[in-house]
């Protein structure tokens, strides 16, 4: 879920304005791997020389991962079963007026009980990778403390079943559902939360690391700190400039600490983060708009990547509010995390411009971080109102490839809202979603041919689910979910995606 999940485009990126404010204020051995594992992919060069070439199709590299992505709060339900503690999303969704139509994730897709049905969907779509997240409060109900064995058992059963189905378990350790107890203790703005996260990572790695080889520490840190602590439209619902600034730094610390914690337990594990990204284009060719686009790129795309790989915050910003962010001596070494791969979540592009003099008078924050951000308007629109712009995926993948010395990349999310329901014959005809993935995959293939080392593509999402503040009003799934009966029905897009995955190639014809 994007503009609704990431309202920072509508707010001229308030986070960006904030970030420019001056000084205010056991080793694991993976014993069982699915077919097409990352281990074999890692041995490939992905230089365009190992492609299969089906007739009338655009080939993808050998051992490419075809998957979908989900998140625990959005699908699992069972919000208070088997010892699970309250999360910030449980608290937020139970607060009147926070979620469209008063929806909650209490039941969601009931995947906690129906995970076998979910794996059956994946098998029917010929997937070989399943990106899912672990619910922190299902493992540590009250934040710190011993592990909840029933929570670990649930994920252990899921992982075993995925491996049996020859599907890679691609695990996200944090997809936004912080234990409420840790929020009560200060949440992500609290320095101690970084250490709590490292402890949680160690527990999960110790329990599941013998079967999971590929991990993501965070999903979209830029989104959850902005929407949760500055905009207040997502859990925990705070609206504080200082909380936002402090949360960004603590999350960067947690990324570094979590990386080291996981590697200490599982040295051979491949560890990354799924970053929300959007290609940032200047509105005009003026020097002012070009500079604004670079500033937009800094806060949108690499605010949590530069610290991990280079031990610094992006240089496009004129100054860093170190005091407000509570950056302590030695912190910039602790934020370092030499990630094994970079996950990119991308849906659309961003148009950046410099505010004029009168705008700066009306909006003092524009003196501090002079950039206006908006979504593009030239492409077609999804049912969520987002522009479809496949070139954005190519541009973003190639920029990261150039700027970071050709890292291993996985597309960890991309997709569109298309709210079609079943017709009289029970068929969900979502042609616009088919076209979306066809065009974005064609752009991705061009990036691979041009030298990007991309190992996988994960459509958002496996099935319609709880879309955060939008509740159940937006449908992104390749499978339709009747939330009254929990019946799953593969959409036409899911059947099309199954053909792509089976052939490891993108059909050229729009009718195939």
Q: Is 199 a catalytic residue?
A: no
Q: Which of 183, 281, 410, 413 is catalytic?
A: 413
With a CB cutoff of 8 Å and minimum separation 6, the contacts of 248 are 15, 19, 221, 225, 303, 304, 325
Higher-confidence position of 362 and 230? 230
Q: Is 231 a catalytic residue?
A: no
pLDDT tens-digit series, residues 69-91: 999 999 999 999 999 999 999 99
State the pLDDT at residue 357: 64
3-state secondary structure 240-267: CHHHHHHHHHHHHHHHHHHHHHHHHHCC
pTM of the entire predicted model: 0.91
Average pLDDT, integer, range 276-286: 98
pLDDT tens-digit series, residues 427-476: 999 999 999 999 999 999 999 999 999 999 999 999 999 999 999 999 99
User: pLDDT band at 500, cuts 50/70/90?
Assistant: very high
Quick check: 115 pLDDT over 50?
yes
Average pLDDT, integer, range 185-189: 98
Q: Which of 220, 387, 435, 467 is catalytic?
A: 220
Mean pLDDT of the chain: 89
111-118 own/partner pairs: CB under 8 Å, 24+ apart = 111/70, 111/75, 111/76, 111/77, 112/76, 112/77, 112/78, 112/81, 112/154, 113/77, 113/78, 114/486, 115/157, 115/158, 115/161, 116/161, 117/488, 118/75, 118/462, 118/463, 118/488
Q: Which one-letter DSSP state was computed for residue 388?
A: P
User: pLDDT band at 18, cuts 50/70/90?
Assistant: very low
Range scoring the smallest mean pLDDT among 230-244, 260-274, 363-377, 393-407: 363-377
Phi, psi (deg, nearest 5) at residue 449: -65, -30
Distance from C-alpha of 79 to C-alpha of 86, rounded to nearest angstrom: 7
498-503 own/partner pairs: CB under 8 Å, 24+ apart = 498/124, 498/125, 498/126, 499/126, 500/66, 500/437, 500/441, 501/66, 501/125, 501/126, 501/127, 501/128, 502/126, 503/54, 503/57
Range scoring the smallest mean pLDDT among 36-40, 50-54, 217-221: 36-40
User: pLDDT band at 47, cuts 50/70/90?
Assistant: very low
User: pLDDT band at 22, cuts 50/70/90?
Assistant: very low
With a CB cutoff of 8 Å and minimum separation 6, the contacts of 416 are 347, 382, 383, 384, 386, 388, 432, 433, 436, 476
Distance from C-alpha of 147 to C-alpha of 139, rounded to nearest angstrom: 5
State the pLDDT at residue 511: 63
pLDDT tens-digit series, residues 342-376: 999 999 999 999 987 665 555 545 555 678 999 99
Higher-confidence position of 3 and 299? 299
Average pLDDT, integer, range 272-280: 98
**Contact predicate 417/35, CB 8 Å:** no
Quick check: 36 pLDDT over 70?
no
Quick check: 104 pLDDT over 60?
yes
Going along the chain from its start, the domains and CATH numbers come out as 26-278+341-346+386-507 (3.20.20.80)
State the pLDDT at residue 358: 62
Q: Which residues pair with 74 in a beta bridge?
A: none
Quick check: 9 pLDDT over 60?
no
User: pLDDT band at 37, cuts 50/70/90?
Assistant: very low
**Contact predicate 252/259, CB 8 Å:** no
Q: State the helix-helix crossing angle for 391-403 and 287-301, rounded to 10 degrees.
A: 80
State the pLDDT at residue 3: 40
Distance from C-alpha of 392 to C-alpha of 240, rounded to nearest angstrom: 31
Phi, psi (deg, nearest 5) at residue 67: -150, -175
């Amino acid at each position: 879920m994007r503009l609704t999940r990431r309202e920072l485009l509508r707010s001229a990126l308030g986070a960006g304005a904030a970030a420019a404010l001056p000084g205010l204020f056991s080793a694991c051995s993976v014993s069982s791997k699915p077919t097409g594992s990352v281990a074999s992919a890692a041995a490939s060069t992905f230089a365009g020389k190992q492609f299969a070439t089906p007739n009338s199709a655009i080939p993808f590299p050998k051992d490419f991962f075809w998957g979908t992505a989900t998140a625990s709060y959005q699908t699992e339900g069972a919000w208070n079963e088997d010892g699970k503690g309250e999360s910030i999303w449980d608290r937020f969704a139970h607060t009147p007026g926070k979620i469209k139509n008063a929806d909650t994730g209490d039941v969601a897709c009931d995947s906690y009980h129906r995970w076998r049905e979910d794996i059956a969907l994946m098998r029917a779509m010929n997937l070989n990778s399943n990106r899912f997240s672990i619910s922190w409060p299902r493992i540590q109900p009250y934040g710190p403390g011993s592990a909840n064995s029933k929570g670990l058992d649930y994920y252990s059963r899921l992982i075993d079943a995925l491996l049996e189905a020859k599907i890679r378990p691609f695990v996200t350790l944090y997809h936004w559902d912080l234990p409420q107890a840790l929020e009560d203790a200060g949440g992500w703005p609290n320095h101690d939360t970084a250490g709590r996260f490292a402890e949680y990572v160690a527990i999960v790695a110790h329990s599941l690391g013998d079967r999971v080889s590929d991990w993501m520490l965070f999903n979209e840190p830029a989104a959850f700190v902005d929407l949760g602590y500055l905009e207040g439209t997502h859990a925990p619902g705070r609206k504080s400039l200082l909380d936002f600034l402090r949360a960004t730094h603590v999350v960067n610390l947690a990324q570094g600490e979590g990386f080291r914690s996981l590697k200490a337990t599982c040295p051979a594990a491949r560890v990354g983060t799924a970053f929300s990204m959007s290609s940032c284009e200047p509105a005009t060719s003026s020097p002012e708009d070009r500079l604004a686009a670079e500033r937009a790129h800094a806060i949108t795309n690499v605010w949590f990547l530069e610290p991990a790989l280079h031990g610094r915050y992006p240089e496009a910003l004129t100054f860093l509010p170190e005091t407000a962010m509570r950056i302590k001596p030695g912190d910039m070494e602790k934020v370092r995390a030499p990630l094994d791969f970079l996950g990119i979540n991308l849906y659309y592009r961003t148009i950046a411009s410099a505010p004029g003099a009168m705008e700066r008078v009306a909006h003092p924050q524009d003196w501090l971080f002079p950039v206006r951000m908006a979504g593009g308007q030239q492409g077609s629109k999804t049912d969520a109102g987002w522009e479809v712009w496949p070139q954005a995926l190519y541009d973003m993948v190639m920029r990261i490839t150039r700027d970071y010395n050709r890292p291993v990349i996985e597309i960890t999310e991309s997709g569109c809202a298309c709210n079609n329901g079943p017709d009289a014959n029970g068929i969900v005809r979502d042609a616009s979603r088919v076209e979306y993935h066809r065009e974005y995959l064609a752009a991705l293939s061009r990036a691979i041919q041009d030298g990007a080392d991309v190992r996988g593509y994960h459509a958002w999402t496996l099935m319609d689910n709880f879309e955060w503040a939008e509740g159940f009003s937006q449908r992104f799934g390749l499978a339709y979910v009747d939330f009254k009966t929990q019946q799953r029905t593969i959409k036409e897009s899911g059947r099309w995606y199954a053909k792509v995955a089976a052939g490891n190639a993108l059909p050229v014809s729009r009718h195939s």
